[in-house]
Amino acid sequence: MGGAANPAVLGLLASGTIGQAVGAHREGKAIERAARFNAEITRRETDQRIEQSFSRGRRRRAENITRVAKSGVRLSGSPLAVLEENEYQESREREFVRQAGALSVNLLEMRGRAARDAARFGVASSVIGGAGRIGTLSLIGGPDRLSALALTSGE
């Protein structure tokens, strides 16, 4: 085939390949860290919403018991059933908030893992592509020979 490829060109190709691989790796890690951070924020917000729901429920229950007591009605039968139903609905609301938060956290964590895995493929792709370019230039004898081959193949 042709002469040896210029070492400077091969060095530039190698450094470009390494740069692409490092960039892909860093990008994936950054996205993964951001996803973990967002998942933690979502966990905290979910915990806060659940605590707020508990507080609202306790406050509502106290207000309702006070109203019932002021009215002179005994806390049994229908008034008690209404209070129990309110508590049941509030517990369902808290469970819904908990499940929605857990789903959001899982989704964020999956996005982080997907970004990490995509970065691994990006690194591998950069290395394989760079090795292919370096190998091609080494076999044909450098970029000048490559240009000459491209010109002759078009005739």
Residue spans of the domains in the chain: they are 7-153
- CA contacts within 13 A on the Cβ side of 34: 10
| pTM across the whole model | 0.61
Q: What pLDDT, on the 0 to 100 scale, is given for residue 155?
A: 46
- Is there a contact between 60 and 93 (Cβ–Cβ < 8 Å)? no
Quickly tell me which residue has 């691994």 as its tokens.
Answer: 120
User: Which of 1, 5, 2 has the alpha carbon at shortest distance from 133?
Assistant: 5
What gap in Å lies between CA 103 and CA 79, rounded to an integer? 36
- Give me the average pLDDT of each 10-residue run along the chain (155 residues): 63 83 88 91 93 88 81 73 85 92 93 88 85 76 53 49
User: Which of 137, 155, 131 has the alpha carbon at shortest distance from 18?
Assistant: 131
